[in-house]
Amino acid sequence: MNLDHRKDKVDTANIINENINSQSSGNNLNIDYVEHPIQNSLKNSNQALHYLYQQAPVGIILNIIAALLVTWFILPTTPDYIYIPWLSFIVLTAFTHTLVIKEFGKQKKSLHVNNQWAVYQTFMVGITALTFSVGYLLFLPLASFFVQVILLLTLAILSIAYLPLLSVFLPSYVIYISTFIFPMIFWIYSMPPEDAYPTAALLATTYCILLVTANYYSKSLLDAFGLAGEVNEKVDNLYNIIEKTKNLNVNLYKDNHEYIRKNEVVSREKQQAEITLQSIGEGVISTDQFGRVVYMNPVAEIYTGWDANDIRGKHLSMVLNLVDESSHMKLPNPIEQCIETNATINSSDNSILIRRDGLEYAIEYSATPIRQENNILTGSVMIFRDVTEKRSMEKNLNWQANHDPLTGLINRREFDTRLNKIISSSNNSDREHVVCYIDLDRFKLVNDSCGHEAGDELLKKISDRLKKIARDTDTVARLGGDEFAVIMYSCNLDKAKLIAEIFREEVFNTKFDWHGKNFSITASIGIVPLNDSTTTLTELKRVADLTCYRAKDAGGNRVEVSEKGKSNFKKHTGELKILEELQKSLEKENFKLFTQQIKPLDDLNDILFYEVLLRMRNTEGELLSASSFLHTAEAYHMLSAIDDWVLKVVMEMIAYGNPLFNKAHMISINLSQQSVLNEKFIKYAIDTFNDYDIPAGNICFEINEPQFYDNMERFKRFVTLMKRQGCKIALDNFNYNPVSINTVKQLNIDYIKLDARQFSKISVEQNHEYKLLESINDINHLIGAQTIMKCIDSDDIVESAFEIGADFVQGFVIDPPQALKNS
Mean pLDDT of 232-254: 72
Residue 557: DSSP 8-state: S
Q: CA separation (Å) from 354 to 282, 285, 298, 389?
A: 16, 16, 17, 16
d(CA 470, CA 504): 12
Contact between residue 698 and residue 669 where contact means Cβ atoms under 8 Å apart: no
In this prediction, residue 438 has a pLDDT band, given cuts at 50, 70 and 90, of very high
Cβ-based burial of 57 (10 A; exposed 0-12, middle 13-18, buried ≥19)? middle
Residue 410: DSSP 8-state: B
Could you tell me what percent of the chain has a pLDDT over 70?
A: 82
d(CA 731, CA 714): 15
In this prediction, residue 131 has a pLDDT band, given cuts at 50, 70 and 90, of confident
Q: pTM of the prediction?
A: 0.39
> For the chain, first and last CA: distance in Å?
84
User: CA-CA-CA-CA torsion for 710, 714, 719, 724, nearest 10 degrees?
Assistant: 170
Mean pLDDT, the chain, rounded, equals 79
Residue 537: pLDDT over 60: yes
Of the listed ranges 333-337, 361-365, 409-413, 554-558, the one predicted with least confidence: 554-558
Contact between residue 629 and residue 578 where contact means Cβ atoms under 8 Å apart: yes
pLDDT at 808: 95
| CA angle in degrees (0–180, nearest 5) for 60-63-65 | 110
Mean pLDDT of 226-230: 66
d(CA 540, CA 547): 11
Residue 571: pLDDT over 60: no
Cβ partners under 8 Å of residue 791, min gap 6:
755, 756, 757, 810, 811
Mean pLDDT of 719-727: 92
Q: How far is CA 394 from the centre of its chain?
A: 25
Residue 39: pLDDT over 60: no
More confident residue, 368 or 233: 368
- Per DSSP, the residues of 790-803 read ES--SHHHHHHHHH
Could you tell me what percent of the chain has a pLDDT over 90?
A: 12
Q: Rounded to the nearest 5°, which phi and psi values hold at 448?
A: -70, -35
pLDDT at 20: 41
Residue 591: pLDDT over 70: yes
Residue 234: pLDDT over 60: yes
In this prediction, residue 111 has a pLDDT band, given cuts at 50, 70 and 90, of low
What letters, b where the CB count within 10 A reaches 16 and e where it falls short, cover 204-219?
eeebeebbeebeebbe
Mean pLDDT of 718-730: 93
Residue 431: pLDDT over 80: no
Q: Tell me the pLDDT tens digit for each residue of 335-356.
A: 888 888 888 888 877 888 888 8
More confident residue, 462 or 29: 462
pLDDT at 823: 60
Helices (H), 24-114: 37-74, 80-107
What SS3 class is residue 218? helix
H/E stretch holding 396: helix 388-402
d(CA 189, CA 187): 5
Q: Tell me the pLDDT tens digit for each residue of 604-640.
A: 888 999 999 988 887 777 788 777 777 777 766 788 8
Helix axes 170-179, 181-189, angle to 10 degrees: 30
Q: Tell me the pLDDT tens digit for each residue of 301-330.
A: 888 888 888 888 888 888 888 888 877 788
Residue 476: pLDDT over 90: yes
d(CA 72, CA 57): 23
pLDDT at 178: 75
Of the listed ranges 351-365, 588-602, 631-645, the one predicted with least confidence: 631-645
More confident residue, 277 or 122: 122
Judging by DSSP bridges, how do beta strands 808-809 and 786-790 pair with one another? parallel
User: CA-CA-CA-CA torsion for 628, 631, 637, 639, nearest 10 degrees?
Assistant: 60
Cβ partners under 8 Å of residue 462, min gap 6:
440, 484, 507, 510, 521
Number of H helices, E strands in the chain: 29, 24
Q: Rounded to the nearest 5°, which phi and psi values hold at 351?
A: -85, 135
d(CA 651, CA 667): 10
d(CA 533, CA 565): 11
Q: Tell me the pLDDT tens digit for each residue of 62-101.
A: 888 887 888 888 888 878 888 788 888 888 888 888 888 8
d(CA 711, CA 695): 29
pLDDT at 45: 65
Q: Rounded to the nearest 5°, which phi and psi values hold at 259?
A: -65, -45
Residue 530: pLDDT over 60: yes
Of the listed ranges 73-82, 481-490, 683-692, the one predicted with least confidence: 73-82
More confident residue, 802 or 33: 802
pLDDT at 566: 40
Of 365, 384, 382, the residue nearest 285 (C-alpha): 382
Cβ-based burial of 46 (10 A; exposed 0-12, middle 13-18, buried ≥19)? middle
| CA angle in degrees (0–180, nearest 5) for 278-283-287 | 95
Q: Tell me the pLDDT tens digit for each residue of 184-205.
A: 777 777 777 776 677 667 767 7
pLDDT at 484: 93
pLDDT at 564: 53
Residue 175: pLDDT over 70: yes
In this prediction, residue 435 has a pLDDT band, given cuts at 50, 70 and 90, of very high
Contact between residue 312 and residue 334 where contact means Cβ atoms under 8 Å apart: no
